[in-house]
Amino acid sequence: MNAVRISGHVDVQHRLSAVVPDSIPPGPVTVLIVGHCDEDDAGEAWMSGVAREWADELSDARQDIYTLSDGAPQKEP
């Protein structure tokens, strides 16, 4: 299965129109529609800030209270 990203347009009658590359043969296709996102810069800045703030805490070995082998809390030394 080949995936190709294209842009299209939905008109007021809810019809989709798009131009596809010649490499796509005629016939049925499956279409995934992702609506236009109007998120502003503040949303992206918030996510980046959270990731930056939590990076040190999440990489701290003292936060590792479960082991990978058993999924149970580690015993205190």
Per-residue pLDDT of the chain (77 residues; tens, 9 = 90+): 577 888 888 899 999 999 988 888 899 888 888 776 666 667 778 888 888 888 877 777 777 777 677 766 666 66
Q: For Cα atoms 71, 75, 54, give the angle at the middle one, nearest 5 degrees.
A: 65
- Cα(8)–Cα(17) distance, rounded to whole angstroms? 5
Rounded CA gap, 62 and 74, in Å? 10
Alpha helices in the chain (DSSP H): 41-58
pLDDT for the residue 12: 92
Nearest to 4 by CA among 19, 48, 62: 19
Q: How many residues does the chain have?
A: 77
Bridge partner residues of 66 (DSSP): 73
pLDDT, residue 38, reads 65
